[in-house]
Structure 1
Amino acid sequence: MRVFVAVVTDGSFTTAADRLGTDKARISRIVSRMEKKLGAQLLTRSTRRLNVTEVGRDYFERAMCILTAAEAAEAAVAQQSREPKGLLKLTAGSEFGTMVVDDWIAAFLRMAPKVTVEAEYTNRLVDIIHEGFDVAVRVGTLEDSGLSARKLGEVSYGLYAAPGYLKRGPALSAVGDLKRHNLIMKTTRGRSNWALVNGEKTEKVTVSPRCAVNSTIAAKNLALAGLGITHLPRFMAEPYVAVGTLSCVLPGWAEVPAPVHAVFASSRYMDPKVRSFVDLCLSAFKDGGSQD
C-alpha cells in the first residue's frame, strides 16, 4: 500500500523506487501483485506516461486514509510510551504494602504527575486479570499462573529480641538453645516452626511458641515488649536495631530469603504507567540491595 501511494504521488516507478530505497523492478512487481490480488487494474503504463485508473484513484484515496490513520496510531503510542498517565491499580500484601510499597507509590506519584494510583493491600491471592488490577507486588514463590512477572529482589530475615529479654533469659549461642527460650512465631496455614539455614547448615525449630500470631507486625511488637525471640524481615527489624530496642541473635541463622516479584498481564504490551512503576520498584531494590 505504501509502495502504490508512493508511485501515484511521484508519478513514476523510478522516482518512487529512489525514495523508498529500492529498485524499479521490485516496485513494478509489488504493484502487479496488488492488481492481481485485487482483480483490478490500478495503473495504465506506457513508455512515456503513468496514469491512474478510476479504480486506482479510489484505492489511492482509501489507502491514504489508512496510512494516515496508521501513522497517527503509531505517534499516539510513541507519545504514550514517553509519558505515563491514567489510573494505575495495584495490589500487594498487607504488611509489605504498608511498610515498603507505600514508599514506592509516593516516589511514583512524584515522578509521574499525570498518574493516579488505586492500591489494595490484602493477604488473599488477587486475580489481577478478572479483578482489573494492572500489577501485583508479591512476596514468596510464584504460582504458575500464565501471567508475566519481573523479579524485583529478595526479602532477607533474621532472629531478633529486645535487649532486656536477652539479659534475663538463658544463654543463647546455638540454634539448639532456642528450645529454652520464649519464642514468638508467625503461623502460616497453622504451622508454627522455623526452618533456619546458615550457609550449608540447616536447623528446624519445632518447639511450641510462647505466642503464635498471624502477623509479622504483631510478632515485632511482642518482641519489642520483651516477651521473647521472633523471626522478622530485616527491613522491618533493622530500624529498631539501629536505636537499640531490638538485637539480632544467632547472626547468620534465618529462613531462606523470599523473592519479590511484580506480576502483570503481559510483558509485550505493557502500559507505560505499568512499565514505569515496575522500573521504579526495581530501581528501589537495587538502590537498597535486598530489603535488609
Structure 2
Amino acid sequence: MSFLSILTYFIGGYTTLVLALYMLSSVLPVAGFAARTLAAYISLIICAIYGAVASIILRILGREQIAQWTTARAFKYIMAATTGVTFEVIDPNRYLETVRPAVFIGNHQTELDVLMLGCMFPKYCSVTAKKALKNVPFLGWFMSLSGTIFIDRKNSKDARGAMAGAAKEIQERKQSVYMFPEGTRSYSKEPDLLPFKKGAFHLAVQAGVPIVPVVVANYSHVLYIKGLTFKSGKIPMKVLDPISTVGLKSEDVDELTRSTRELMLKEMVALTQKVRNKPIEVPATSGDGVVRASGAEATLS
C-alpha cells in the first residue's frame, strides 16, 4: 500500500470519527469535548505544515517577518470552521496595527491560547523561545525560518542578561514579540492571573519599546479541561493602552511588572463580567504577584 493510500485512509477515518463524535455530542456532552479536541489537533497539524512551506517562500522573498502572522491567520479560520471557536479582538485604537516594535503580553489560560494568537497576532511580530529549541528538527527549523526571537537563558545568570540579545534583535529588525509573563497555563475556572515573571518587562526596558497588554476574558465556559468541557463560542479579548518604558531602568522592572499585572487582572475581571453578565470580585494576590528569579530558580516573594 502506497503512502498516499495510507494518508487517504487516515484522513478519511479521522474525519469520520470527528463527525461521529459531533453527532453524539447532543446526547453525550463528553463526545463534544473529544470531537473538538481531535479537530483542533488536526487543524494545528495542517497549519504547521502550511507554516513551514510559507516560511520558506517568505524567507526567499525577504518577508519572513510576516510568516508567523500568516500562519496564525490560517489557524484562526480553520479552527472557526472545525471547532466553532474564535476570539473577538477589541482594539478600537488599532494598537495591533500601529504600535511597532513592542512587547505584547497576555494572560495564559489553556492550549487554546494558540488560537487566541491566531486571531490577534499583528504583522511583523513573533513569539519568543528558548535558544535550545533552535536546533530541534522541524519545530526549530520553522521557528528560525519564521523570525522567532530566541532567548539564551542557559548562559545567563538572570532575566536581564537573558534578554540582552533579544532586545538587540527587536531594535535592529523592528520586530515585535508576544510573551506570556505567567510563564505557564493557569487552567483557572475563574478570572485570575498567576504571578508574573519579569523577563518580558526586562526585554521591553532594554529594547526601549512599549509594553502592550492584551487581556482575554476567562473562557472556562468554552474550554475547561478538568471538566471535559469544550464548546463552540466567541471569546472577547481587549488590547489595552501601550505602557511606555522610556527612561526606565532595570531597577524599575519590579514595579512595572507589579502595576501591569494589577491593571491586567482588573481588566480581565471586567471583561469576564460582561461575558457572564454578573459581578465578579477581583481575586486577592499573595505578595506583589512578581516572581523573583535568579538563574534557574524562581520563588514568589
TM-score by length of structure 1 reads 0.21
Q: With a CA cutoff of 8 Å and minimum separation of 6, indicate the structure with the bigger relative contact order.
A: 1
Higher helix proportion: 2
Q: Which has the higher strand share?
A: 1
